[in-house]
Amino acid sequence: MTNTPWWRGAVIYQIYPRSFLDTDGDGVGDLPGIIQRLDYVAGLGVDAIWVAPFFKSPMADFGYDIADSCDVDPLFGTLADFDRLLREAHARGLKVMIDQVLSHTSDEHAWFKESKQSRDNARADWYVWADANEDGTPPNNWLSIFGGGAWQWEPRRGQYYLHNFLASQPDLNFHNPDVRAAVLDNLRFWLDRGVDGFRLDSINFCFHDALLRDNPAKPKAMRTGRGFSADNPYAFQYHFHNNTQPENLAFLQDLRALMDRYPGIATLGEISSEDSLATMAEYTSGHRLHMGYSFELLTNDFSAAHIRDTVRALEAKMTEGWPCWAISNHDVERVLSRWGRGSASAAMANQLTAMVCSLRGSVCVYQGEELGLTEAQLPYESLRDPYGIAFWPEFKGRDGCRTPMPWSDDEHAGFSSAVPWLPVPPEHRALNAAKQQADPASALNGYRRFMHWRRGLPALRHGSIRFLDTPEPVLAFVRELGEERVLAAFNLGAEAAECELPPIGGLQSLQGHGLASGTLDGGRLRLPAHGSLFARVV
């Protein structure tokens, strides 16, 4: 496997800088805080870090509204801090991927400030502008994910501009070649500094339908959203025209051509479309993105059938590309609350990590998963997320998964010497990293054991996958690479389970992964609650 790119089968640890570690006492995490905890991250046994936005921003969407893509916001530090982060991470064998938000900017960006002044300035066509209808209404029925219409009136130009997210996040006009060139220049800036790859936020939102056609209505029974609540009006439409346009494919090829000039670079696209699995397959074929991930395993469905059917469907469609899986991130309820349904435990936390890290593909794991953190339940007055504030109380937003990392039992859980930007809940403080470090049975030490054990099984990192037909709540599959075949089986239920495995050959149980382990009696599989079994197929 010496010629295999580093990112194939890699475990990528997502760091949300605001909530990782604060070193300057302002209650917000920063780049020096990440540097200070790199030994901790390297000790987890992961391959890379993905750092969420740290660029200059008014922080209306906490960094995903970028005012300057080529500089660090003073809240997080300096460019020199970032360069040191790269050096220190590389010295520990960690690759560094950074977020890039290509489809839109902040309304404080210099490009937008110029574009909105008139219809004939140098950047007049850099954003999506449209005239009002005769009655003054917006040009079509497109909606913003964050609620309400996707068009905002700008009196200086006497036109509307498009925003698929907040009104302070205007969409760039990718039909303009100058925009595409400028965006690629921004990526080149970070490539020249030595980053190892990019996580591309909402990458299917770059282009819009040039004819501005209305989106069709979606039947009520079909209004289930990934990454947004079903009562959000956004779920009332099929989003055929405001994203995922065919012109994006050529741009992705141009983007890949730039990446190929820098050896060892990886691109990971976040994709949320009407058929995200099909879009993932399309975006990772034909020399486009290296990897794609979507929200299919970030839903509330924790059945073996859902996981099996999702991966099978992607395997059937993705004949060229490489998948990436995630069960938690900074945008959704933490997986132990979403799937735990009141039975969250260290054993379940370790099993979920093992399950997602045993699927074919790379994996993004979110900070705090290794500690077994659940979703923080915050009162309305503590909310900072505009999405949650707008949809409270039916949807509480994303603050509950973004609370600070608990490092110790000190005040503010060792995250900061000041009051943090979001409160640390007592149940998180009780799960702090220092306490778990000293407990061999903790979720943290279980996480480390599994990650280091996984590295010794190439089939789990690079092999093919074949699912076995097993009854709920058992999920079982075989990973195969060359002569190595490994059975992975998981009881996703809170009670013991057993089933008969279909004939696949002789089985020798594998030890050392540190999980609550099942047993084999011939072809009979017995698993404890949240139990797992790995076996070599001989």
Q: What is the pLDDT of residues 453-474, one digit of tens each?
A: 999 999 999 999 999 999 999 9
Backbone angles phi, psi at 161, to 5 degrees: -120, 155
Catalytic member of 47, 61, 154, 270: 270
pLDDT at 232: 86
And the tokens for 379? 């009162």
Instruction: Report the chain's mean pLDDT, rounded to a whole number.
Output: 96
Instruction: Give the bridge partners for 484, in sequence order.
Output: 481
Strands (E) located in 415-514: 464-467, 474-481, 484-491, 497-500, 507-509
Report the distance separating Cα 444 and Cα 457, nearest Å: 21
* H/E element, 48: strand 48-51
Pick the CATH number of 463-537 from 3.40.190.10, 1.10.10.60, 3.40.50.9100, 2.60.40.1180: 2.60.40.1180
And the tokens for 173? 């006009």
pLDDT at 394: 85
| 325 neighbors 356 (Cβ within 8 angstroms) | yes
Write out pLDDT tens, residues 49-106: 999 999 999 999 999 999 999 999 999 999 999 999 999 999 999 999 999 999 999 9
Report the distance separating Cα 129 and Cα 173, nearest Å: 8
Query: CATH class for domain 11-105+177-454?
Result: alpha beta
Question: Residue 216, preceding bond cis, omega within 30 degrees?
Answer: no
Instruction: Give the bridge partners for 172, in sequence order.
Output: 127
Report the distance separating Cα 233 and Cα 260, nearest Å: 40
Record the pTM: 0.97
DSSP state of 180: H
Report the distance separating Cα 80 and Cα 87, nearest Å: 11
Instruction: Give the bridge partners for 363, in sequence order.
Output: 11, 325
The domains of the chain are located at 11-105+177-454, 463-537
Tell me whether residue 6 is exposed, middle or buried, using C-beta atoms within 10 angstroms of its C-beta: 0 to 12, 13 to 18, 19 or more: middle
**Does this chain's domain 11-105+177-454 share its CATH topology with 463-537?**
no
- The angle formed by the CA atoms of residues 225, 228 and 229, to the nearest 5 degrees, is 80
Residue 228 has pLDDT above 70, yes or no: no
Q: Is 270 a catalytic residue?
A: yes
Catalytic member of 99, 171, 201, 375: 201
Write out pLDDT tens, residues 386-444: 999 999 988 899 999 999 999 999 999 999 999 999 999 999 999 999 999 999 999 99
Residue 1 has pLDDT above 60, yes or no: no
pLDDT at 450: 98
Distances (CA, A) of 103 to 31, 36, 243: 25, 32, 10
- The angle formed by the CA atoms of residues 228, 232 and 238, to the nearest 5 degrees, is 85
pLDDT band at residue 3, thresholds of 50, 70 and 90?
confident
Question: Residue 263, preceding bond cis, omega within 30 degrees?
Answer: no
